[in-house]
Structure 1
């Protein structure tokens, strides 16, 4: 009797784990929340090496300075529109915002994954390298978008210079899971890792200045986790801004978010 009960429990647990393993990307990359219309200038469509269509929304203000923006695992168009439009600073900068596979309403049938998004970023990088090679380059990412930003940055020639703004980055995706026991319990099944600590090690830090924006009330990524990533940089190679009242998702609703970014850019634009 007891053996049968144990077998049944084992089968139930196995089935739960199996279902999670199969659908994990739908849980991690919440593209199903990306409902609404993206209203950012113009749109171009790129095709990746695995034949996926991805959108890049952009505003070209004929500036010599480009901002490349990478959204997080949750991309709500209304918020995305506000942030990207404000980052152009009254038409002073151009902005290019990559929408990962599965996040565009036109290509909802595509499935997001770490490898898939990396292919999207590689395609975007190839376009930028070919068509925007003379532009001054500023990279901005939020959460998962920080991982995308660092991968994007790592693809460029090590002699090219950048400014990089990372909002609530993590050390690696799996270390975020380990911090909560109910996530750690299934973390061994998770395929995505996004090892930011390895990517940041490979970047020529002499040619990149970083600004880290950290939320004081981040309920997803602990400040300790972010600080662990900062340990891979020398103190004089980055600036840090702590937003005491901000949560993981709402930095963009505060004016100090934009003011801090613009101050950082204007102070370091000579570097580019």
Structure 2
């Protein structure tokens, strides 16, 4: 039957169903994943045909992971070296392996490296591009997929059309009846840097909680405290509200009409049932 491998620092309910539960020490994700890739390469379990036809830079991965033997990594991440080897072999040799990950991978100071390791793991084994394989990052909020689809990303318009494309921009200028900035907007991380640099003095935050979700929490919280004026609009008193000068209520899903889009693009319609505050 299918095997379920759970890798996380705490014992969640889903771990009860796992064939292998690797309760690693917090912050050691990259070490563990590099050790798995080390095993795959040293035992010749990589998909050479897929690597040759669909990837580049594999030599750099070889150089990087050769220092991360399971025996060396084991005492650091808290996972037995034999378990690391077993899980690496299982993932690489299974007919179909798929990786799911949650926000704990990305909402971390090493989030980019975590994701790169998972991507490299899938690519070197060819566990991607086929049914029941690949990488599936689970989105953090209940309608983040829908918000992304309609353009709530700083570098794209609705339907992921790039801000920097003159033809696309002209189309939306005509639709919205105003001139649009030809440059990409700032990501949340870039906004925090801009506050530090004195380029942003005021902020209106709606439905976002950077004091808890930013990859570098201390950096984000210090940035929020530097603002001259901060407005937060939310249905909850979030950690970010603690830095706000003004807090405004927002309408929750029973208080308005709208839609929710799942990661697989299933759309649910929500109808207003009660009046908002």
Using structure 1 for the length normalisation, give the TM-score: 0.29
Looking at secondary structure, tell me which structure has more strand per residue.
1
Q: Which has the higher contact order (CA 8 A, sep 6+)?
A: 1
